[in-house]
């Protein structure tokens, strides 16, 4: 791993010096647009004025991947990995070793809170994604419970992304194929504007003709799945200062899969899955140009999810329902009291409900329950000097967890989340920043109240008068405390044009972090748990158990990325070095592998782009007793695109690629399944 980093730095440094001769001889700069972040401050801010660790991927950098799932789309961003294996329905985020519900996930501004073990969190077609922003580190001051690891904000395409300012109507059609899994995909988007109204409609389909295979050629059984996704947006701007927008999305997937989608399929346990997810939101923005006090955003939303799983072997029918009702109002005001400063402040209301049945009866593994959250927050940006900015913030959350089941107790808590950020502009292009934050996460409904059978395996005798039953059962723990953390980041950024020549652009960042977590919620699966020992007339039996507990933990690490572009050629690298352990020295099961990603490409002819990405991952041997260590791997992906200028279209592009060029057999720790092997990709998209 260390050698890979050294070689990468040497390659980019040497190439940057050589680029002085390769750049445009007339010295025309690439005019790198300012990098704007939105979720990091709940406001549009230049990256160099932001005091948190954040990365953005959008537009062409997403499309060139021809991604069929979110691991392919964003899984190599610094500090982020996508766990769960190759099935898209099992994929969940991991930032710095914080997983799943320890990360706030937002789609077009609306929180998506559903999380049930092995059932994933990404229910959207990658082709409709326009932008992904990843905020790393404690973000509870602005986003409340769940922002221990950070925030992932996914934005879908809208009319302004696809339609030129002078045009009123347009359409885009895309078709693609990936050989591994025989995945066919097709999307169609229609968009336009007329007067004060604009609208967009999207429909996407992704079908698989076979199961995926890993690098050894072995089938990842029961991975064949068909997905459809529809999206509709309607915007109305009654004045230059105000806008209403309605968004509606419908997602569906169908296939025969294991109930634990992170494991191999088995005919004895596979289920026929049918998932339906709907998201609706209504937003209002009010921002008069002549007012420093009003820049208001109001959003109300409703998410509903229903998953049915019918077991093939015996027809056992499970149904899972989850709903989220959300409302938030955020305003931004600017003041000058001798020192210019701005304030972002607002309220947030949330209600989550869940229901689970098995064969029409209440299901212990997913008991009926609801969760309510009420919050207020404020964060100021104080321009102390032309170069120094301070960002203090504070949030108050009150939450309840209320189960509708006998023997389970209601939980109510509140929490304060302060933050202080410091940004120092050492020069126009160079920033140094620091951030200290208090973050928290309330226990989820499933962590508190899960009961009943987790999984079953064949039982066996353990000695005279003693047998293992072969059943592993959840143990509810309504006494779980909320996770609380003190987190610290320090970093630096550099963004500039014409660095080594008149036609290049360079951006770099590096940061280190440290987090102490009180009452970290750790799930333990004990195959044989002697605390379950029971005696009967014929002897004793013992089973297994799955339980959650609070432990204290700490996380630390380093992240860096760089992008360089001369126009003729380009390159980028990303470094992720995460560490973590329980305070008693025990290993945690969520810490990803060290990783370095390197991309190099060229534009040898007009409209042609060629390149490749190599991902180097180190071994992860510091793991708890039981799980397999993560092996080191190297994966190489190639990509190419061609925009022929003789086609009578606003935009026509053909893309080709090879994922996992050398057919590496590998796992992304802590996932238990191998990733897919080599896949040839081809797609074409046309806009008119």
Residue in 54, 45, 22 with CA at minimum distance from that of residue 133: 54
Architecture of domain 2-687: Beta Barrel (2.40)
Residue 462's pLDDT is 77
Other beta carbons within 10 angstroms of residue 31's beta carbon come to: 9
* Per-residue pLDDT, 530: 72
In which element (H, E) is residue 13 found? Answer: helix 2-22
**How far is CA 306 from each of CA 53, 137, 625, rounded to the nearest angstrom?**
35, 31, 35
The continuous run of DSSP H or E covering 562 comes out as strand 539-565
Longest dimension (CA), the chain: 93
- pLDDT, position 146: 87
Cβ(576)–Cβ(77) below 8 Å: no
- DSSP, collapsed to helix, strand or coil, labels residue 181 as coil
Mean pLDDT of the chain, nearest integer? 89
CA-based nearest residue to 440, from 21, 119, 102:
102
The answer to whether 218 and 676 are in contact (CB under 8 A) is no
Using only C-alpha atoms, the chain has a radius of gyration, in whole angstroms, of 25
Q: Are 233 and 246 in contact (CB under 8 A)?
A: yes
3-state secondary structure of 437: strand
* Low-confidence spans in the chain with pLDDT less than 50: 1-29
Q: What is the pLDDT of residue 403?
A: 83
Query: What backbone torsions phi and psi does residue 672 show, to the nearest 5 degrees?
Result: -100, -10
- Between CA 73 and CA 82 the distance in angstroms is 10
Structure tokens at 349: 């209301």
**Cα 192 off chain centre by:** 30
With 0-12 / 13-18 / 19 or more C-beta atoms within 10 angstroms meaning exposed / middle / buried, residue 642 is: middle
| 291 token code pair | 């007012």
- Least Cα distance to 211 among 252, 254, 176, 257 occurs for 257
Q: Where are the domains of the chain?
A: 2-687
Number of H helices, E strands in the chain: 6, 38
Q: What residues contact residue 314 under an 8 Å CB cut-off, 6+ apart?
A: none
By the 8 A CB rule, do 251 and 277 touch? Answer: yes
530 in the Ramachandran plot: left (φ > 0), alpha (ψ -120 to 50) or beta? alpha
Give the Cα separation of 523 and 519 in Å (integer).
12
């Amino acid at each position: 791993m260390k050698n890979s980093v050294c070689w990468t730095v040497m390659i980019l440094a040497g190439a940057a010096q050589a680029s002085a001769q390769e750049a445009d001889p007339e010295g025309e700069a690439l005019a790198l647009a300012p990098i704007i972040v939105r979720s990091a401050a709940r406001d549009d801010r230049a990256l160099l004025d932001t005091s948190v660790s954040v990365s953005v991927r959008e537009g062409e950098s997403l499309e060139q991947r021809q991604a069929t799932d979110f691991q392919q789309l964003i899984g190599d961003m610094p500090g982020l990995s996508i766990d769960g294996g190759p099935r898209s329905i099992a994929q969940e985020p991991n930032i710095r070793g914080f997983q799943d519900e320890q990360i706030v996930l937002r789609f077009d501004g609306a929180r998506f809170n559903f999380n049930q073990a092995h059932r994933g969190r990404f229910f959207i077609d990658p082709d409709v994604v326009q932008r992904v922003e990843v905020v790393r580190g404690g973000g509870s001051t602005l986003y409340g419970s769940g922002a221990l690891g950070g925030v992932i904000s996914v934005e879908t395409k809208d009319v302004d992304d696809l339609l030129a300012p002078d045009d009123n109507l347009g359409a885009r059609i895309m078709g693609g194929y990936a050989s591994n899994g025989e995945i066919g995909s097709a999307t169609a988007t229609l968009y336009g504007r007329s007067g004060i109204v604009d609208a967009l409609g999207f429909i996407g389909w992704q079908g698989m003709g076979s199961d995926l295979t890993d690098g050894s050629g072995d089938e990842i059984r029961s991975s064949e799945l068909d997905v459809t996704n529809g999206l509709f947006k309607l915007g109305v701007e009654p004045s230059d200062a105000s806008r209403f927008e309605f968004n509606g999305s419908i997602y569906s997937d169908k296939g025969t899969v294991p109930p634990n989608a992170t494991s191999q399929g088995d005919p004895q346990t596979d289920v026929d899955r049918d998932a339906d997810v709907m998201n609706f939101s209504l937003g209002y923005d009010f921002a008069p140009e002549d007012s420093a006090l009003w820049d208001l955003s109001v959003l109300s939303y409703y998410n509903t999810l229903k998953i049915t799983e019918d077991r093939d072997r015996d027809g056992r029918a499970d149904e899972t329902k989850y709903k989220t009702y959300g409302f938030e109002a955020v305003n931004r005001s600017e003041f000058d009291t001798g020192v210019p400063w701005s304030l972002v402040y607002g309220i947030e209301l949330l209600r989550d409900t869940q229901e689970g049945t098995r064969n029409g009866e209440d299901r212990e593994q997913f008991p009926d329950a609801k969760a309510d959250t009420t919050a207020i927050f404020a964060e100021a940006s104080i321009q102390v000097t032309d170069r120094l900015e301070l960002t203090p913030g504070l949030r108050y959350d009150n939450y309840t967890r209320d189960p509708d089941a006998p023997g389970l107790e209601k939980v109510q808590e509140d929490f304060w989340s302060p933050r202080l950020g410091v940004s120092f502009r050492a020069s126009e292009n160079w920033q140094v920043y620091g951030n200290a934050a208090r973050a928290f996460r309330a226990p989820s409904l499933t962590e508190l109240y899960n009961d009943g059978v987790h999984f079953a395996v064949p039982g066996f005798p353990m000695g005279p008068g003693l047998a293992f039953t072969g059943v592993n059962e959840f143990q509810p723990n309504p006494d779980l405390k909320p996770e609380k953390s003190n987190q610290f980041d320090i970093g630096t950024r550099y963004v500039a044009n014409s660095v080594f020549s008149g036609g290049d652009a360079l951006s770099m960042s590096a940061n280190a972090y440290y987090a102490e977590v009180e009452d970290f919620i750790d799930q333990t699966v004990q195959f044989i748990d002697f605390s379950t020992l029971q005696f009967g007339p014929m002897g004793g039996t013992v089973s297994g158990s799955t339980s959650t507990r609070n432990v204290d933990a700490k996380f630390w690490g380093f992240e860096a990325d760089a992008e360089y572009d001369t126009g003729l050629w380009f390159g980028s690298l990303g470094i992720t070095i995460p560490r973590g352990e329980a305070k008693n020295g025990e290993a945690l099961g969520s810490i990803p592998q060290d990783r370095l990603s390197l991309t190099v490409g060229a534009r040898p002819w007009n409209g042609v782009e060629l390149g490749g990405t190599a991902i180097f991952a180190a071994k992860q041997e510091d793991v708890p007793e039981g799980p397999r260590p993560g092996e080191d791997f190297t994966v190489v992906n190639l990509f190419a695109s061609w925009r022929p200028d003789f086609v009578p279209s606003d935009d026509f592009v053909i893309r080709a690629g090879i994922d996992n060029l050398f057919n590496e057999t590998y796992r992304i720790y802590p996932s238990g399944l191998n990733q897919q092997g080599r896949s040839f990709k081809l797609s074409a998209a046309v806009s008119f």
